[in-house]
Each structure stands twice: as structure tokens, then as C-alpha cells.
């Protein structure tokens, strides 16, 4: 991109659109190919001690809140001074958090891509890797929204890592298409 073609706002808008689409593609990946990947790399889960299953919430019969559901509940709690979401409400609000975060990170990516080709390294997969590391491995556990990576089976990280690579590549693809038009 020539220096005169650089435009921060257009880059952010193209990146945000890319991040929004990529968040949806990421969900589709996790629900389809990601499940197959998880099954292929999973350690023999049935032979693990019983408490490992209980730790995963598999024996309790209770649905497990994911990080996006916890964030949605915390936001509502902070905004309303103590109100919490029901499970049904958290299941609806969790994707809103996911798509919002995807669009925001895509906007950041799009803005960076306007000024440095380093941002688009690996057709966005380097960004996806950094996002996985920063969010899934550091921020989410630090905020007590999930277990620490050291408390999870390494195989449990394969699908989320691959999903973030898909997110990064999709964000870059959509960003390039939209940026070519803007």
C-alpha cells in the first residue's frame, strides 16, 4: 500500500468488519472441523482420573459458563449494581461478547495493517497466534474466566489455537477485500 493510500479510519473499519466475519467463521470452525481436530489430538480422556472429569464439569451435569458468558454476566452486574444473568440470558449474551471482541480486535488489526506490514505477517495468522496467546493463555485465566493453561490438558488447547489461526486469516482476507473498496 502506498503511503498516500494509508488511512487509519478506513483500515479500522475494514479490520472491524473482517474481525466480525472472522468471529463467525471461528465459531463455525470450532463447531465443525475444530471438533474433529479436538477428537484427533485428545489424550485418552477415559483413562484419566475421575477428578479430572469432574474438574471439566463433565460429571456435575451443570452447563459450564464459558469466558464470554462470564464477561457478559460481569458487565450486566457492574451496569445494574448487582443483577446477574440467567443461564439462558448468558447463552444469548456470550456470543455478543465474542463478536464484539472479534470486531474490536479486527479493528485494531486493521489500523495496524495500514502502517506496518508486520501486522499482516502470515496472512493474519501471526496476529491470530498473538491474540490466542494474549487472550486465551494470559488475560482470560488472569481474570479468572477460565483455568490456567497449566491446569488444562495440552490437547485441549489445539482447537482454540487453530481457531485463532482461522480468525486471523479470515480477518486478513475480509480486511483486504473491504480495504480495496474503501
Q: What is the pLDDT of residue 97?
A: 97
Q: Is the pLDDT of residue 172 over 80?
A: yes
- The pTM (predicted TM-score) of the whole model is 0.85
Cβ neighbours around 65 below 10 Å, total: 19
Instruction: Give residue 9's domain range.
Output: 3-181
Q: Is the pLDDT of residue 103 over 90?
A: yes
Q: State how many domains the chain has.
A: 1
Pick from 174, 166, 162: nearest CA to 38 = 162
Q: What is the pLDDT of residue 15?
A: 98
Of 33 and 101, the one with more pLDDT: 101
Between the CA of residue 32 and those of 7, 36, 84, what are the distances in Å?
Answer: 37, 7, 31
| Helices (H), ranges, 32-157 | 33-41, 50-55, 67-80, 87-115, 125-131, 140-142
Amino acid at each position: 500500500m502506498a503511503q498516500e493510500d494509508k488511512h487509519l479510519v478506513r483500515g479500522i473499519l475494514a479490520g472491524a468488519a473482517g474481525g466480525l466475519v472472522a468471529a463467525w467463521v471461528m465459531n463455525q470452525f470450532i463447531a465443525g472441523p475444530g471438533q474433529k481436530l479436538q477428537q484427533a489430538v485428545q489424550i485418552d480422556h477415559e483413562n484419566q482420573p475421575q477428578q479430572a472429569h469432574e474438574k471439566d464439569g463433565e460429571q456435575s451435569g451443570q452447563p459450564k459458563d464459558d469466558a464470554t458468558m462470564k464477561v457478559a454476566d460481569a458487565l450486566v452486574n457492574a451496569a445494574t449494581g448487582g443483577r446477574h444473568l440467567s443461564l439462558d440470558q448468558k447463552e444469548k449474551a456470550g456470543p455478543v461478547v465474542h463478536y464484539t471482541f472479534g470486531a474490536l480486535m479486527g479493528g485494531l488489526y486493521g489500523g495496524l495493517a495500514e502502517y506496518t506490514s508486520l501486522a499482516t505477517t502470515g496472512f493474519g495468522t501471526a496476529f491470530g497466534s498473538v491474540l490466542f496467546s494474549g487472550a486465551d493463555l494470559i488475560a482470560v485465566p488472569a481474570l479468572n474466566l477460565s483455568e490456567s493453561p497449566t491446569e488444562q490438558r495440552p490437547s485441549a488447547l489445539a482447537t482454540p489455537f487453530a481457531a485463532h489461526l482461522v480468525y486471523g486469516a479470515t480477518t486478513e482476507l475480509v480486511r483486504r477485500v473491504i480495504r480495496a473498496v474503501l
